[in-house]
């Protein structure tokens, strides 16, 4: 390291320097990798079913191409299911983060389901 503390992060300036924010690189990289992984798994989930659709055709259909049969299956049947699953997962993650933040106790660890010690 160059003498800087690891907790400082990098300063990012926008709008001609009028707006700045301190950004930690590792969380941004981890969030980006998780977003790409989530999109890849969503494409696989959309293509999985009684009528399998290859990932290339799923992406082509989502981008506006593809044949009408695949478009119906993907856009009307499978995409809403996957979107609902992603939204439910995000809601559960947010509620868990809020719950953990509001209970600053030892029992609010990710491995614990108790809300109070001794329960």
pTM to 2 decimal places: 0.70
In a domain, 6, yes or no: no
- Work out the pLDDT band at 40, boundaries 50, 70, 90: very high
Give the pLDDT mean for 28-54. 95
Count of domains in the chain?
Answer: 1
For residue 11, list its beta bridge partners.
22
- Work out the pLDDT band at 1, boundaries 50, 70, 90: very low
Give the pLDDT mean for 68-73. 93
In a domain, 4, yes or no: no
In a domain, 9, yes or no: no
Tell me which residue range forms the domain holding 47.
19-103
In a domain, 88, yes or no: yes
Non-local CB neighbours of 38 within 8 Å, separated by 6+ positions: 86
In a domain, 119, yes or no: no
In a domain, 57, yes or no: yes
In a domain, 7, yes or no: no
Helix or strand or coil: residue 109?
Answer: coil
In a domain, 112, yes or no: no
Task: Check: CB of residue 46 under 8 Å from CB of residue 79.
Answer: yes
Q: How far apart are CA 118 and CA 33, in angstroms?
A: 38
Give the pLDDT mean for 78-95. 96
On the question of pLDDT at 9 being above 70, the answer is yes
**Mean residue pLDDT across the chain:** 85
């Amino acid at each position: 390291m160059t003498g800087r503390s690891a907790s400082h992060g990098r300063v990012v300036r926008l709008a001609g320097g009028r707006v700045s924010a301190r950004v930690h690189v590792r969380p941004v990289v981890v969030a980006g990798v998780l977003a790409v992984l989530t999109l890849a798994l969503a494409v696989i989930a959309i293509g999985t079913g009684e009528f399998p659709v290859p990932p290339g055709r799923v992406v082509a259909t989502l981008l506006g191409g593809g044949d009408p049969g695949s478009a119906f299956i993907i856009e009307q049947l499978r995409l809403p299911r996957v979107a609902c699953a992603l939204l439910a997962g995000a809601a559960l993650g947010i509620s868990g983060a809020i719950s953990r933040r509001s209970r600053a106790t030892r029992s609010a660890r990710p491995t614990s389901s108790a809300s109070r010690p001794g329960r």
